């Protein structure tokens, strides 16, 4: 293998950043009509404090409006996003708040769930450190900035999403290294491991086939993200890269692979579970949605009784927790 250039390419004295270019192309593509209409609803609900609306998830990948679309709504301050102080306090204490929205539009009925989070919390969640993996786990995958308030918001969101890709790879490469701190992989092997680790860090589940399909949806994108991210991490002094064009040999700098985990998994799961409980105050018809998501990912259908549907706070949680326990979501 030949050594990679430790510095990004330069053109006209300006450093090029392939990862930043990739993220910008993905984020600032034209938005589908359905996503743009929903973004307008979010801005109407939460006002001028909305800085950006990000579309992500399976509906974005598949280019469909069937099912429930997934969004993040980034705001300046929680107290400006709500008329309700308890909602603002809950959002600040354990971000994000998650809401369900079903609305009639000129192109039909649209359904979505959206998470409200401050720009500061989004920035922190995209970077290494802490035990919340939800931001970098989601936004190391392709996303789309459906709506942004201004150029400053566009720049901030692009920087955060770039950091999410770097964090995902920086957390997972050590898990693939031998005791000497050397890892060998290609882009497919790397991203299958990244996706496996990010899903298993929370009480979510994806089958191995689903994880492979996430990568297979755009292998060229993941190959470009790998090259850009590894070069950027090399510039930061995190690792040394050698490549033959497709495969990589990575030597970790300043830390070893032994015992490294991408997140503090038990604590991350606790935070995720607390977030599920908090969602009952904001989400609406949360239990059928949660079971529908589990059915979609696992193939196991759970029928609710009328009592469970009418009183989910009393009878619904035992059903959901029993399903989660049986699946042994690690």
| 40-60 confidence digits (pLDDT tens) | 999 999 999 999 999 999 999
> pLDDT tens digits for 84-93?
998 999 899 8
Q: What is the pLDDT of residue 12?
A: 39
> Is the pLDDT at 132 greater than 80, yes or no?
no
Q: Is the full-model pTM beyond 0.85?
A: no
Give the tens place of pLDDT for each residue, 244-268. 988 999 999 986 444 444 445 555 5
Q: How far is CA 41 from the centre of its chain?
A: 22
- List domains and CATH numbers for the chain: 2-265 (3.30.460.10), 266-327 (no CATH)
By the 8 A CB rule, do 268 and 200 touch?
no
Instruction: Characterize 50-82 residue by residue with b for buried, 16 or more Cβ atoms within 10 angstroms of its Cβ, and e for exposed.
Output: bbbbbbbbbbbeeeebeebbbbbbbbbebeebb
Cα 292 to the chain's mean position, in Å? Answer: 20
The pLDDT mean for the chain works out to 83
**pLDDT exceeds cutoff 60 at 110:** yes
Exposed e or buried b per residue across 4-41, where buried means at least 16 C-beta atoms within 10 angstroms of its C-beta: eeeebeeeeeeeebbbbebbbebbeeebbebbebbbeb
Hey, CA dihedral for 187, 217, 229, 265, is it positive or negative? negative
Region 58-74: mean pLDDT is 93
User: pLDDT tens-digit profile of 184-205?
Assistant: 999 999 999 999 888 776 655 5
């Amino acid at each position: 293998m030949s050594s990679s250039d430790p510095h990004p390419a330069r053109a006209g004295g300006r450093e090029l950043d392939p990862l930043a270019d990739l993220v910008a192309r993905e984020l600032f593509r034209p938005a589908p009509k359905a996503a743009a209409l929903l973004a307008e609803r979010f801005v109407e609900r939460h006002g001028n404090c909305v800085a950006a609306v990000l579309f992500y998830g399976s509906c974005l990948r598949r280019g469909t409006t069937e099912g429930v679309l997934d969004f993040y709504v980034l705001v300046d301050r929680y107290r400006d996003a709500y008329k309700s102080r308890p909602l603002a306090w809950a959002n600040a204490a354990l971000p994000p708040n998650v809401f369900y929205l079903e609305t009639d539009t000129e192109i039909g009925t649209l359904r979505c769930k959206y998470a409200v989070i401050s720009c500061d919390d989004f920035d922190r969640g995209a970077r290494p450190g802490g035990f919340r993996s939800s931001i970098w786990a989601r936004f190391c995958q392709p996303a789309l900035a459906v709506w942004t308030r201004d150029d400053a918001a566009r720049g901030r969101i692009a920087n955060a999403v770039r950091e999410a890709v770097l964090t995902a790879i920086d957390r997972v490469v050590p898990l693939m290294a031998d005791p000497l701190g050397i890892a060998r992989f290609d882009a497919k092997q790397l991203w299958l491991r990244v996706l496996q680790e990010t899903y298993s860090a929370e009480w979510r589940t994806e089958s191995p086939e689903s994880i492979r399909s996430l990568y297979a949806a755009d292998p060229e994108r993941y190959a470009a993200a790998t090259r850009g991210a590894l070069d950027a991490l090399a510039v930061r002094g995190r690792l040394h890269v050698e490549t033959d064009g497709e495969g990589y040999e990575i030597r970790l700098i300043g830390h070893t692979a032994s015992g490294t985990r991408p997140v503090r998994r038990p604590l991350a799961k606790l935070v995720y579970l607390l977030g599920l409980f908090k969602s009952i105050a904001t989400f609406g018809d949360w239990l059928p949605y949660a079971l529908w998501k589990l059915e979609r990912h696992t193939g196991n259908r759970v029928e609710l009784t009328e009592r469970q549907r009418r009183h989910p706070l009393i009878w619904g949680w035992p059903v959901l927790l029993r399903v989660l326990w049986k699946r042994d979501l690690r």
